[in-house]
Amino acid sequence: MSADISKVLERSEAILAGESVPSRDKSFKNYAISNFRGGIGKSTLAFNLAYELSRQYRTLLVDTCSQRNFTQNLMGDDVFGVTPTIYDALVNAVTAGEQIPNDELAISVAPHCSPFKGGKPTYLVPGSTELFLFPSLMYGQLAQFSQLGKDQKSRASQMILLSLNRIIEQVSDFATPDKILIDTSPFFGGATHLAWEAAEALIIPVRVDQHSIDALRLTLDMLTKSEMDFHRFNTQAGFTHRPLVHAIVMTHCGWNRQKANTPDSSTKFFVEKALEVTQDYREIFTELDPADCFYLLDDFHSSGRISGQQRIPLSELKAGKKFMIDGQRLEVNPSVDRYKREMRNLTNAL
């Protein structure tokens, strides 16, 4: 076993045992949760991380995913017909339309999701299914701007690429957040691209399977390779911004039944594969050793389904409690207690 995975496993074991672990030296205000694969637990992570952040910080949440699962988790049935959305704000921003009033665009979460009551003020800029349409508008305009002279091309392209930055800055005047969390689509084009322009750092969830390892490499390639769309359009706009990678969050980890707090062999295998991938991209991590950016999260079994259906953060669930979900009686499994320690440690790193 490599020294890198030994470090990750030892830190994970200490977290689950309730022991103190070294704190992170760096933290940021604005994070995006991003990876180029669906079904890896990104929405569950975003919802639960938003809740944990709200216990400590005034928080602004932005949903740039056209599936808008993040918005649904936070607003429930209230999401239907909600307007304005991030799509409306982006279209106005890239077409020089009228700015939407901040108190209309940013929605207080607590009245719509009761677990957020009692925490710090938390606001959501809601997502929209219309974001499916946004990449064609955005890249069509960028293609037109590429034909302009150097200075005009740069200024016009910056207007597009920094549109989400401007929206966040405007809404922040109203929400005054300490932390900002952006949920993104598993596809890079459009609003995810703009989220990378707005974010200081990325949280990358990686499921313990080969497809997710491949998606991790693609994500890191997009961050580093000059020929990829992210850098190509940055060059057109005349700037060099890229977010750093602050956390690789391994999701759906399984655990050894014979040895407490120890991942099973399949989980170890894929954690090691992810560590191998990151060694080729060390310069974009917020720690000198990418292994210091790794976090292991449980496979939640029935607890994850209960959390999503009931819109209850996993930290608020108690092992053994039963719920009726889609006609089935489900019980919160004991692994939820591991999750609480894992998620709080991740939150403390932000």
With cut-offs at 50, 70 and 90, classify the pLDDT of residue 267. Answer: very high
Phi-psi region of 118 (alpha: psi -120 to 50; beta: other; left: phi over 0): left
With cut-offs at 50, 70 and 90, classify the pLDDT of residue 328. Answer: confident
Structure tokens at 263: 């991942």
Host domain of residue 135: 3-348
Rounded distance, CA 28 to CA 155, Å? 27
| pLDDT at site 60 | 98
Q: What are phi and psi of 253, to 5 degrees?
A: -70, 140
Contacts 24+ apart (CB under 8 A), 234-242: 234/161, 236/142, 236/145, 236/146, 236/153, 236/154, 236/157, 237/154, 237/157, 237/158, 237/160, 237/161, 238/154, 238/157, 238/158, 239/158, 241/197, 242/196, 242/284
In tens, the pLDDT along 273-285 reads: 999 999 999 999 9
Q: Which residues pair with 108 in a beta bridge?
A: 123
In tens, the pLDDT along 122-168 reads: 999 999 999 999 999 999 999 999 898 888 999 999 999 999 999 99
Q: Are 51 and 315 in contact (CB under 8 A)?
A: yes
Give the closest residue to 140 by CA, choosing from 98, 196, 91. 91
In tens, the pLDDT along 131-144 reads: 999 999 999 999 99
Q: What are phi and psi of 22, to 5 degrees?
A: -55, 140
| pLDDT at site 150 | 85
Residue 84 has pLDDT above 90, yes or no: yes
Task: Kindly give, in sequence order, each residue whose CB lies less than 8 Å from that of residue 14, ignoring residues fewer than 6 positions away.
Answer: 20, 21
- Mean pLDDT computed over 109-117: 95
In tens, the pLDDT along 283-314 reads: 999 999 999 999 998 877 778 778 878 899 99
Looking at the 3D structure of the chain, how many domains does it have?
1
Residue 227 has pLDDT above 90, yes or no: yes
Rounded distance, CA 139 to CA 146, Å? 10
| pLDDT at site 78 | 82
| pLDDT at site 4 | 85
| pLDDT at site 46 | 93
- Lowest mean pLDDT, pick from 69-73, 100-104, 130-134: 100-104
| pLDDT at site 1 | 53
With cut-offs at 50, 70 and 90, classify the pLDDT of residue 71. Answer: very high
- Percent residues over pLDDT 70 in the chain: 99
CATH code of the domain in which 75 resides: 3.40.50.300
| pLDDT at site 19 | 87
Q: What is the mean pLDDT of the chain?
A: 91
**Predicted TM-score of the model (pTM):** 0.95
With cut-offs at 50, 70 and 90, classify the pLDDT of residue 106. Answer: very high
Residue 270 has pLDDT above 70, yes or no: yes
Phi-psi region of 244 (alpha: psi -120 to 50; beta: other; left: phi over 0): beta
- Percent residues over pLDDT 90 in the chain: 69
In tens, the pLDDT along 6-49 reads: 999 999 999 988 888 888 989 999 999 999 887 777 888 899 99
- Mean pLDDT computed over 191-211: 96
Rounded distance, CA 224 to CA 280, Å? 10
Q: Residue 96: CA atoms inside 13 Å, Cβ hemisphere, count?
A: 4
Residue 193 has pLDDT above 90, yes or no: yes
| pLDDT at site 61 | 98
| pLDDT at site 148 | 86
